[in-house]
Amino acid sequence: MSKQTITLTIAGTDICFEPTLVAYNSYINGLSMSDKVAPSHQYLKRIVCAQSKEALDTLLARPGAALQVAAKVNEQFAPDLDIEVKN
């Protein structure tokens, strides 16, 4: 799989991410019913492009930002599959 760069414009600032399968799987495995914010924060810090680190740090100071941004990155990186059940 080739490297994928995802650029999001958030609050008027472009922030780019380079998610990987390893980082994505680690993020999913780290989520729990009682802890979603810390894994989302760590995941974004792990996959942000070098030139976007400062902008991401500023953004992550906002309540709920980590969850919203991680969800939007993952919509692009791991889109829903069209799955049918046949009997």
Per-position DSSP letters for 71-83, written without gaps between them: HHHHHHHSPPP--
pLDDT > 70 in the chain, percent: 98
Q: What pLDDT was estimated at residue 16?
A: 98
For the cut 80, the answer to whether the pLDDT of residue 1 exceeds it is no
For the cut 60, the answer to whether the pLDDT of residue 42 exceeds it is yes
- The pLDDT-based confidence of 79 (bands split at 50, 70, 90) is confident
Residue 49: closest CA among 5, 13, 12: 5
Q: How far apart are the C-alpha atoms of 72 and 14, rounded to whole Å?
A: 14
Q: Is 23 exposed, middle or buried (0-12, 13-18, 19+ CB in 10 A)?
A: middle
Q: How far apart are the C-alpha atoms of 15 and 50, rounded to whole Å?
A: 10
Q: What pLDDT was estimated at residue 2?
A: 62
